[in-house]
Chain A
Amino acid sequence: MKIEWLSLIIFIAFFTSCEKLADEYGPVPPKENELLDGPVEGLSVEEQIQFLNGDIAFNDEVFTAETGLGPVFVGTSCVSCHSGDGKGHPFNQFIRFGQSDTLGNPFADFGDGKNQLQNKAIQGFQPEKLPPGAPFTTLVAPAVTGLGFLDAVPDESILSLADPYDENGDGISGRAHFAYPPEYVQIRPNSISRGGKYIFRFGKKAISYDLLHQTVGAYNQDIGITSLFEPIDPYSGLEEDPEISTQVVNEVVFYLKTLKAPIPRNQNDPDVVSGKQIFSRIQCAACHTPSMKTGYSPIEALSNKGFHPYTDLLLHDMGPGLDDGYTEGFAETSEWRTPPLWGIGLSENSQGGGLFLLHDGRARSIEEAILMHGGEAKNSRDEFNALSNQEKKQLLEFINSL
């Protein structure tokens, strides 16, 4: 056989194998439990379409000056702060400033009168500068996975975990953050109200009532995007036409609601099993509540489901070490909402290979984060310090498996 015919046959055979070769020897998908993104199981086709639309808006849409960015801003897109739907990185950290008490009085009247420092600006504009003497805190973005489950927890379940006067004497006195919701949010059925205030559950100091509140606030305060819900431009302080449609906002809210809960790993590892027991024994689980259950949700995949977020959604006094002298809403300066621990073991994959934990990313490891706990968590921190090296390792392996 002539060599050119042989070459042609090889060429065609090779080509006809391309798809199979790409499928079998191409990049393999990461394991499901190594990814933070992806939808919750059980979505209908219609819901998957909404999820996909929200996914595109959240992960692909980058704002420019022409599409509404700024003129002062913190990030250019949702994904710039929530890479892979995980925790943020200090390069996009942001500052909130002004309130040092619980009265809601801004320290300075910048732009829209809100208290997030707009630390970047498009060409020709200057970013805001922190007013001298203003109390402030620096924040890195939280992970956004599993938020739909937290959103669907009934108020009464959250209040059942609260012990504001430490009546059980364990030194832990978590309380729900009651605050006034904006007019545009729909109050959850069977919500519990106190003097017109409702339980806020999202944000480092539980400053957002629900995911719509959180989303339109982030568009507005992080990217400078006005919406029907938040029409005030952060730079001018004036009402502007919406720069994002209500449909897109709703799709992003749906996306955030239906992002899957992080899947724990290595749960049968003996060290992880032992670490889980230590986690409960030294009272970590008193605030980082392992299990919760959703109430009714119009999204069936989220309705009446048990899940394991390792948070109680309550505010806790974390002591002077984590007291930045700044607060939001009716939270005290040293109070922080218990952050969910689920997905913490995957944080390195969204934080560039390192770890930046606690509200401002100051802790570079899980152990460092534990050692920075104070206030209501002081006893647990002390008990951690008293553990043997083996027990510490087991506890850290358990937390890392979440």
Chain B
Amino acid sequence: MKTSIFYSPNYLIITLILFTLSGNLIAQNEDDILKRTKSDTTDTQLNMDAVYNRPALTINKAPVSIGGYLEANSIYAVEDGLTEGLSFQARRLTLFLSASINKRIKFLTEVEFEEGGKEIAIEFAAMDISFDPLLNLRGGIILNPIGAFNQNHDGPKWEFVERPDVAVKLLPATFSNAGFGMYGKTNTGDWIIGYEAYLSNGFDNSIINNSKDRTSLSSVKENEERFEENFSGDPLITTKLAIGNRNIGEVGFSYMGGTYNRVMEDGLQIDEKNRRVDVFAIDLSTTIESTGTYIVGEGAYVWVDVPKTFTQQFGNKQAGFFLDVVQPVLQKKMFGWENASLNVSARTDYVDFNIGNFTQTNTNIGDDLIAVTPSISFRPSPATVLRLNYRYQWQNDILNNPATKTATWYLGFSTYF
């Protein structure tokens, strides 16, 4: 029988040392040269502001701010009684660099290194020109505002190691494209209304031509040419309307749609017609004042024009949602940290990758998953989170055979720097 390193006294000691060290590091003063920028603490923020609403450092009076976040974790999974043991994952290192070119011209880029540098992506690199709070132009590599997570995806903001399934398995978060568009917001009384509208490069045939063996919007991320060439030749339209209330919360309605295939190439017809992908998403977030309970969620419905001559393995309708409930149980000075908090949380994930019935049998097509993830997280400061998650997942194959059951433990951290 394998001896777990968790039972090793050395492991306990190392864990305690890491806790102690992290406390000492946090306690050190920042270099006087580096100044932490003040984040916008007004109550006029919406999810659409997430890219700029991050902690960052400035150097003297330079108009440039830098920042980023790092997340890493250990993972131990058991699938139907079988495990491949314990692994450590350096999930992502993300760097932000922003500059105020002018009072009303801003630039920000977000470069992400995933899986130890195996995947390097410019997730966001855009210039914003503000003409009016209701009219800002943005161009470059933009984050398509579908749902809320895609724009508000920084690890330290979440109590869970895994990103929501609906965001990364159904939708292609983090999904960014070369494109242009506009956004704006206004507020009156307690209400805030914001909008975004972009035209960008879009999807390609990988939606239905991929090794996942299912309709997969996220497969588009494997196309390295999508920042240079729009595969279909038709722009992807992404729009969002968000409504916030200082006392209630925020709800967003977003749409993304366009052609994903290419009909003509070199003057020759290579497919019979334009095929569309359309996505509609709703997101919400709120905090219950009396208990401090934070609730955030997102749902999405996807329509894809899959050729009728293709296999039913690839569905033309998909849907999913996630819902997080975060309950602070201790918010006080702890271990010397002034604004520490201890939270318990739970997430529910659901994704149906293939909605409909089999033509031959009129029985329900499977290919879905549901997962619940209770979590305990400790935040020594709002910008740093230590997370212990337990995820239990049931995944059905396309035929609805007995579900594959997976239990996974995660212990990890995510921190802005």
- Whether A350 and B399, one on each chain, are in contact in the complex, defined by CB atoms closer than 8 angstroms, is yes
Assess whether A388 is interfacial by the CB under 8 Å rule. no
Residue of B whose beta carbon sits closest to that of A138: B360
Chain B 211-228 residues near chain A, CB threshold 8 A = 211-213
Contact digits for A66-107, partner B, Cβ 8 Å, 1 yes 0 no:
110000010111001001100001111100000000000000
- Whether A122 and B359, one on each chain, are in contact in the complex, defined by CB atoms closer than 8 angstroms, is no
Assess whether A11 is interfacial by the CB under 8 Å rule. yes
Tell me how far the C-beta of B85 lies from the nearest C-beta in chain A, rounded to whole angstroms. 9
Measured between beta carbons, the chain A residues less than 8 angstroms from B135 are none
Chain B 350-383 residues near chain A, CB threshold 8 A = 358-361, 363, 365-366, 376, 378
- Whether B16 and A12, one on each chain, are in contact in the complex, defined by CB atoms closer than 8 angstroms, is yes
Chain A 1-44 residues near chain B, CB threshold 8 A = 3-4, 7-8, 11-12, 14-23, 25-30
Residue of B whose beta carbon sits closest to that of A127: B309
Assess whether B120 is interfacial by the CB under 8 Å rule. no
Choose from B311, B363, B378 the contact partner of A352 (Cβ within 8 Å).
Answer: B363
- Whether B358 and A90, one on each chain, are in contact in the complex, defined by CB atoms closer than 8 angstroms, is yes
Assess whether B98 is interfacial by the CB under 8 Å rule. no
With A18-B409, A123-B205, A353-B401 as contacts: A62 and B271 at CB distance below 8 Å: no
Tell me how far the C-beta of A72 lies from the nearest C-beta in chain B, rounded to whole angstroms. 9
Assess whether A185 is interfacial by the CB under 8 Å rule. no
- A108, B236: Cα distance in complex, Å: 45
Tell me how far the C-beta of B381 lies from the nearest C-beta in chain A, rounded to whole angstroms. 14
- Whether B405 and A27, one on each chain, are in contact in the complex, defined by CB atoms closer than 8 angstroms, is yes
Measured between beta carbons, the chain A residues less than 8 angstroms from B7 are 16
Choose from A23, A65, A123, A352 the contact partner of B400 (Cβ within 8 Å).
Answer: A352
Measured between beta carbons, the chain A residues less than 8 angstroms from B115 are none
Tell me how far the C-beta of A95 lies from the nearest C-beta in chain B, rounded to whole angstroms. 12
- A18, B75: Cα distance in complex, Å: 10
- Whether A123 and B376, one on each chain, are in contact in the complex, defined by CB atoms closer than 8 angstroms, is no
Measured between beta carbons, the chain B residues less than 8 angstroms from A8 are 19, 335
With A27-B405, A30-B80, A120-B311 as contacts: A14 and B388 at CB distance below 8 Å: yes
Assess whether A297 is interfacial by the CB under 8 Å rule. no
- Whether A91 and B358, one on each chain, are in contact in the complex, defined by CB atoms closer than 8 angstroms, is yes
Chain A 180-231 residues near chain B, CB threshold 8 A = none
Tell me how far the C-beta of B215 lies from the nearest C-beta in chain A, rounded to whole angstroms. 12
Assess whether B231 is interfacial by the CB under 8 Å rule. no
Choose from A28, A121, A352 the contact partner of B366 (Cβ within 8 Å).
Answer: A352
Assess whether A126 is interfacial by the CB under 8 Å rule. yes
Assess whether A124 is interfacial by the CB under 8 Å rule. yes
Assess whether A306 is interfacial by the CB under 8 Å rule. no
- Whether B11 and A16, one on each chain, are in contact in the complex, defined by CB atoms closer than 8 angstroms, is yes
With A27-B407, A352-B400 as contacts: A11 and B76 at CB distance below 8 Å: no
- A76, B210: Cα distance in complex, Å: 10
Choose from B79, B271, B363, B397 the contact partner of A124 (Cβ within 8 Å).
Answer: B271
Measured between beta carbons, the chain B residues less than 8 angstroms from A122 are 209, 310
With A80-B213, A91-B312 as contacts: A12 and B12 at CB distance below 8 Å: yes
- A73, B365: Cα distance in complex, Å: 21
Measured between beta carbons, the chain B residues less than 8 angstroms from A354 are 361, 363
- Whether B76 and A19, one on each chain, are in contact in the complex, defined by CB atoms closer than 8 angstroms, is yes
Assess whether A274 is interfacial by the CB under 8 Å rule. no
Residue of B whose beta carbon sits closest to that of A75: B311
- Whether B402 and A15, one on each chain, are in contact in the complex, defined by CB atoms closer than 8 angstroms, is no
- Whether B212 and A62, one on each chain, are in contact in the complex, defined by CB atoms closer than 8 angstroms, is yes
- A18, B275: Cα distance in complex, Å: 47
Chain B 283-340 residues near chain A, CB threshold 8 A = 307, 309-313, 330, 332, 334-335, 340
- A65, B209: Cα distance in complex, Å: 7
- Whether B12 and A124, one on each chain, are in contact in the complex, defined by CB atoms closer than 8 angstroms, is no
Choose from A15, A64, A67, A126 the contact partner of B388 (Cβ within 8 Å).
Answer: A15
The total of Cβ contacts below 8 Å across the A-B interface reads 158
Choose from A3, A21, A73, A350 the contact partner of B330 (Cβ within 8 Å).
Answer: A3
Contact digits for A124-143, partner B, Cβ 8 Å, 1 yes 0 no:
11110000000000000000
Tell me how far the C-beta of A211 lies from the nearest C-beta in chain B, rounded to whole angstroms. 24
Assess whether B89 is interfacial by the CB under 8 Å rule. no
Contact digits for A337-356, partner B, Cβ 8 Å, 1 yes 0 no:
00000000000011111101
Tell me how far the C-beta of B256 lies from the nearest C-beta in chain A, rounded to whole angstroms. 21
- A353, B209: Cα distance in complex, Å: 28
With A16-B11, A90-B360, A91-B358 as contacts: A64 and B211 at CB distance below 8 Å: yes
Highest count of chain B CB atoms <10 Å: which of A18, A84, A349: A18
Choose from B6, B76, B80, B340 the contact partner of A27 (Cβ within 8 Å).
Answer: B80
- A49, B392: Cα distance in complex, Å: 30
Tell me how far the C-beta of A85 lies from the nearest C-beta in chain B, rounded to whole angstroms. 12
- Whether A28 and B81, one on each chain, are in contact in the complex, defined by CB atoms closer than 8 angstroms, is yes
Measured between beta carbons, the chain B residues less than 8 angstroms from A11 are 376, 378, 388
- Whether A29 and B80, one on each chain, are in contact in the complex, defined by CB atoms closer than 8 angstroms, is yes
Assess whether B272 is interfacial by the CB under 8 Å rule. yes
- A238, B310: Cα distance in complex, Å: 23
With A14-B388, A15-B388, A64-B211 as contacts: A76 and B313 at CB distance below 8 Å: yes
Contact digits for B173-215, partner A, Cβ 8 Å, 1 yes 0 no:
0000000000000000000000000000000010011111100
Choose from B19, B376, B399, B407 the contact partner of A22 (Cβ within 8 Å).
Answer: B407
- A396, B321: Cα distance in complex, Å: 43
Tell me how far the C-beta of A164 lies from the nearest C-beta in chain B, rounded to whole angstroms. 36
Residue of A whose beta carbon sits closest to that of B405: A27
Measured between beta carbons, the chain A residues less than 8 angstroms from B332 are 4
- A75, B398: Cα distance in complex, Å: 13
Chain B 15-72 residues near chain A, CB threshold 8 A = 15-16, 19
With A8-B19, A27-B405 as contacts: A93 and B81 at CB distance below 8 Å: no
Tell me how far the C-beta of A31 lies from the nearest C-beta in chain B, rounded to whole angstroms. 10
Measured between beta carbons, the chain B residues less than 8 angstroms from A92 are 311
Tell me how far the C-beta of B203 lies from the nearest C-beta in chain A, rounded to whole angstroms. 13
Measured between beta carbons, the chain B residues less than 8 angstroms from A352 are 363, 366, 399-401
- Whether B4 and A20, one on each chain, are in contact in the complex, defined by CB atoms closer than 8 angstroms, is yes
- A353, B401: Cα distance in complex, Å: 6
Measured between beta carbons, the chain A residues less than 8 angstroms from B330 are 3-4, 7
- Whether B401 and A84, one on each chain, are in contact in the complex, defined by CB atoms closer than 8 angstroms, is yes
- Whether B360 and A93, one on each chain, are in contact in the complex, defined by CB atoms closer than 8 angstroms, is yes
- A77, B77: Cα distance in complex, Å: 26
Assess whether B101 is interfacial by the CB under 8 Å rule. no
Q: A120-B309, A120-B311 are in contact. List 17 more A-B contacts (CB 8 A).
A: A7-B342, A12-B15, A15-B6, A16-B12, A18-B76, A22-B76, A22-B83, A64-B209, A75-B313, A83-B399, A90-B358, A91-B312, A91-B361, A123-B271, A127-B309, A352-B399, A356-B361
Name the 4 nearest CB pairs between A and B, nearest first: A29-B81, A27-B405, A352-B399, A26-B407
20 A-B Cβ contacts within 8 A? A4-B334, A7-B342, A15-B411, A16-B6, A16-B11, A17-B6, A19-B409, A22-B76, A25-B407, A75-B311, A80-B213, A89-B361, A90-B360, A91-B312, A91-B359, A91-B360, A92-B311, A123-B310, A349-B402, A356-B361
Chain A residues within CB distance 8 Å of chain B: 3-4, 7-8, 11-12, 14-23, 25-30, 61-62, 64-67, 73, 75-77, 80, 83-84, 89-93, 120-127, 349-354, 356
